[in-house]
Structure 1
Amino acid sequence: MAIGALIEPLFSHLPFFLALVVRPSPYRKLFFIPILCANIWILLYGSSPVNYSRVVNIWGTSLATRVAIASDFILLTDVQNELRLQIDKRHISSAPLRERMSWGFRLMTTSRGIGWAHECTTRFPPKPQNISRWAFVVSKLLWAGYYYILSDLEQIPLQWNFAVIRGEVGMEGLTGLFARATFLVYLAEVYTGMNMAYNILAAVTVSVGLSEPRDWPAIFGYWSDAYTVGRFWGRFWHQNFRRFVTAHGKFISKNIFHLKSGTSLAWHVQLFVAFALSGLIHLAGDYRGQDDWTKGGTMRFFLLQAVAISFEDVVINLASRLGFGKTTRLSKCIGYLWVLGWWIWAVPPWTGPWAEVRIREVGHHRQSFILRVCQQVLGDSEGSRLL
């Protein structure tokens, strides 16, 4: 047990950090070997930190994510010559060791490249500007409270979903449509959970002076931008994976298939590589949480996203040729209905196996606190038995 606890810091974190600190060299790629081996060993044989499927899923996903990021920063990218901070125009390779260590730590701990030249600024809401430190902290704590309330309310459709899994709700007609819609609560849990943790972390680090408000742009985009499946993933959903899935997609498109950059075929290859890699990463979480590589519908779900986006691309191009290229309120409304219908169809096979796992867990089910208060105030004993 003690040896297992040392494997991750000594053979994963440390080699990754050293690979970012050492000056450019052909031998720098050797640092990837212990990182890959250590994370595979931990994934297959390591002890889970807790006996709770949601946390174990996140842990397994984080192991695979680390390998993917290391592959990008060690195998595909000459980081010290290609990446730089926005406030630093020089190549860090010429800097002293202490500065390279600080630089490497910053690169290692930012998944979205905030403050770096490769930051994707067009995909996020604007950064906080002209706001005092404590006004920012109070704002983030209020937002964290808001997402906690949403998280509490999510327990209501979650209990309905458990009833669907247990076969207590029929799957015919409108009832079946509603039953399938309850599976979307698992995506909502990811959204509220990440937002709540992000806002708390932002408030803490800014309050103690470790970061500035400008370092914490919103982690998710605007709901109003999600009127296609492509825009849902590219503009609304978190962009923590964008850097490394894009890097691998471009590498495979250019170096393996030798496709010309900017062509439709190259774009589609990069699209499918990005979602395949994302699927593999989430598959690692499936394995740790469900002890099975094949039980969940993860790979099917993520590859279907690429299929849906490709379909949208064809439809949008056809509409443009027919003179309907301008985005209107009507086209957005149609798009929102399409995206909602897509999720209702595509999500259940992915989240259903997780629902079955969570039903069997003892001590991790909770009823909505807000619902309990309302029931006590209204005396809704019948509703209490149902929910």
Structure 2
Amino acid sequence: MFENTLQGALIGVTVIPILILSLPTTSFVRYAIYPLPALLVLRALLWPPTEGLAKETYLLGLLMTDTSFKMFDYLYLQGYNAPAKFLQVDRVGRTITKVHEYPKDTLGQVKWALSLVTSHRGIGWNIQVPLQKIKYPSSRVAYIFESMVSILSIYLGLYTCGSLCDYMVQVLRKEADSPYPWIYGLFKNSIFQMVVAFMGIFAMVSNSVLVYNLARMICVTSGIKGNWGKIESWPNMFGEFEDAWSIRNVWGRAWHQNLRRCLTAPGEKVSSLIFGSSPKLGRVPRLIRRYFLVFSAFGVSGLLHSLAVYYGSKTDTMPYEDSTPLHMRPGWYVTGYFFYIQPFAITLEDFICWATGTSTESKGVKATKVRWFVGMVYTLTWFTWGTAVLWIHPQLASLGYQRTSDAELGYVHILVSTSEAASILPLNPWPAVVKTVSPTFWDVYGYFKSSGLGGYLYLYAYTTLEILGGSGFNVLKSASSVV
């Protein structure tokens, strides 16, 4: 029925839970199919697909694992009677003003189930994760305009980052000459590569951001019924960059919160069994419980991301003829190390702030520019290093995308993957824009060159356009003769 067990599991954790949650808790059919999603996921784990492209299987595995963790919470973690645990509510701020009853008709129950499994951050439910104060656009037109600007910005960022990575790869592999020797040295510098790789992670996650922006624009514009058509149901996927002044704040406010519920729910369940109700705890047990939840959430996150690599590592084990031999690659589980180390960093960060009396409140931090600046510097340094060294590098190496011929070129395999991730996104308008603008700019440059004004400045600007257009290497090669 399906090409492989992974595809079957993905269908199983997306469609079947809606059917299960739509049926009465006393239904025999519900009892019969209740374990089916878990069995399909177990089948995919025990007999993963062995054919196909590693990257495609990895993305499919990430989507399936992400969805299965969410369904695990809805179907199994909270017990069999989901309607008693998950309640549709109305809110004013953080205060619940109304609790809606579980529908009694079949169509209403289907809508209830569909709304639950597709809810973004639990908005409209009693499981809503904390949201930052958001200033929503004043009208649908303003909302559509904001979404379009966001979409075009994502496309531009992807295109620019992908073009830069593609250019760096060609220079490092000496498939194109650099106009100056220092450019090759800069591109080969591991710190510079880490910075570009850090930019590249956003290219890799921008696909989901783009789909999210398109979906919210369509739903809000069409005025679709239910929570999907409400502007308030579609907050920005990521927080503000200015809030990335601590490691804790990056994960809690700046980074996306799409997985927050499914990552924290297992720890909450275990902690309730160990510690009991939080309000009744003393200061020390409450502190232990707090950090237990941090460590458990990142433990689940590391497992989720590692499982996606596990699936990818079973297919197309030699994507290149000179891929690193299997016995020299890190295991699929190494990808999780990036996430496993985060709670240790957060704990150390909290301890240092406590010991030095440093403010950890947003208002206090932003009121002191030096504190905010220092926080931004060390946080960005931490993630720039960790993203390349602990996350993307071992992940690509485990999937076989590190080549022996690139052994002396640092993190060039990350640059290659970033370039490919940026190029596969359809409907990007910026390549056509650059190709249209570039010839015109060349005519303007020729005029200023002949007049002797601004030759170097225009050469650099033109070269940038040509790099983005894909033909900048020939220009760079003859740069010295042009000026």
Shorter-chain TM-score: which interval? Answer: 0.7 to 0.9
TM-score scaled by length of structure 1: 0.82
- Percent identity over the alignment? 20
Q: Give the deviation of 1:76 after TM superposition.
A: 2.3
Distance in structure 1 (CA, Å) of the matches to 2:213 and 2:360: 40
Task: Please point out which of 192, 203, 217 is paired with 2:206.
Answer: 192
SS of the residue 1:248 aligns to: helix
Distance in structure 1 (CA, Å) of the matches to 2:41 and 2:63: 10
Task: Please state if 1:330 is matched with 2:341.
Answer: no
Residues 206 and 212, structure 1, Cα contact 8 Å, conserved in 2 = yes
Seen in structure 2, the aligned counterparts of structure 1 residues 140 and 32 have a Cα distance that, compared at 3 Å, is: same
Distance in structure 1 (CA, Å) of the matches to 2:332 and 2:156: 32
Q: Which moved more, 1:357-366 or 1:204-213?
A: 357-366
| Alignment correspondent of 2:69 | 68
Task: Please point out which of 29, 32, 35 is paired with 1:33.
Answer: 35
Alignment of 1:296-375 (within 5 A): 297-320=334-357, 326-327=364-365, 328-349=368-389, 350-353=391-394, 357=401, 359=416, 366=423, 369=431
Distance in structure 2 (CA, Å) of the matches to 1:361 and 1:347: 13
Task: Please state if 1:130 is matched with 2:134.
Answer: no
- State the Cα RMSD in Å: 4.0
| Alignment correspondent of 1:248 | 266
Residues 52 and 361, structure 1, Cα contact 8 Å, conserved in 2 = no
Alignment of 1:216-295 (within 5 A): 216-255=234-273, 257-258=274-275, 261=278, 263-291=286-314, 294-295=331-332
Residues 151 and 193, structure 1, Cα contact 8 Å, conserved in 2 = no
1:91-111 deviation line (CA, Å, top 9, x unaligned): 644633322221111001124
* One-letter amino acid of the counterpart of residue 150, structure 1: G
Residues 15 and 35, structure 1, Cα contact 8 Å, conserved in 2 = yes
SS of the residue 2:349 aligns to: helix
Q: Give the deviation of 1:22 after TM superposition.
A: 3.6
Q: Give the deviation of 1:361 after TM superposition.
A: 11
Distance in structure 2 (CA, Å) of the matches to 1:91 and 1:22: 18
Task: Please point out which of 164, 186, 196 is paired with 1:182.
Answer: 196
1:203-252 deviation line (CA, Å, top 9, x unaligned): 12222332132221111111111101110011011101111111111112
* One-letter amino acid of the counterpart of residue 369, structure 2: R
Q: Give the deviation of 1:345 after TM superposition.
A: 1.9
Query: Larger Cα Rg: Structure 1 or Structure 2?
Result: 2
1:35-79 deviation line (CA, Å, top 9, x unaligned): 12212434643488x7472x5433211211222112211222253
1:254-276 deviation line (CA, Å, top 9, x unaligned): 32x44663612111111111111
SS of the residue 1:122 aligns to: coil
Q: Give the deviation of 1:339 after TM superposition.
A: 0.8
Seen in structure 2, the aligned counterparts of structure 1 residues 238 and 155 have a Cα distance that, compared at 3 Å, is: same
Q: Which moved more, 1:373-382 or 1:273-282?
A: 373-382
Alignment of 1:205-216 (within 5 A): 205-210=219-224, 211-216=229-234
1:97-149 deviation line (CA, Å, top 9, x unaligned): 322221111001124112223322434x51625313x4422331232112111
Q: Give the deviation of 1:188 after TM superposition.
A: 1.6
Q: Which moved more, 1:269-278 or 1:284-293?
A: 284-293
Distance in structure 1 (CA, Å) of the matches to 2:195 and 2:13: 40
Consecutive unaligned residues of structure 2, counting only runs of 5 or more, are 91-96, 176-182, 318-329, 402-412, 425-429, 443-458, 478-483
Distance in structure 2 (CA, Å) of the matches to 1:237 and 1:361: 19
Distance in structure 2 (CA, Å) of the matches to 1:32 and 1:167: 57
* One-letter amino acid of the counterpart of residue 243, structure 2: D
| Alignment correspondent of 1:84 | 87
* One-letter amino acid of the counterpart of residue 222, structure 2: V
Residues 332 and 395, structure 2, Cα contact 8 Å, conserved in 1 = no
Distance in structure 2 (CA, Å) of the matches to 1:307 and 1:120: 23
| Alignment correspondent of 1:19 | 20
Distance in structure 2 (CA, Å) of the matches to 1:148 and 1:173: 24
Distance in structure 1 (CA, Å) of the matches to 2:290 and 2:276: 9
* One-letter amino acid of the counterpart of residue 41, structure 2: N
Distance in structure 2 (CA, Å) of the matches to 1:245 and 1:75: 14
Q: Give the deviation of 1:176 after TM superposition.
A: 2.7
SS of the residue 2:43 aligns to: helix
TM-score scaled by length of structure 2: 0.67
Consecutive unaligned residues of structure 1, counting only runs of 5 or more, are none
Residues 165 and 352, structure 1, Cα contact 8 Å, conserved in 2 = no
1:275-331 deviation line (CA, Å, top 9, x unaligned): 1111111112212334388147421100111111111111121122x7998422211
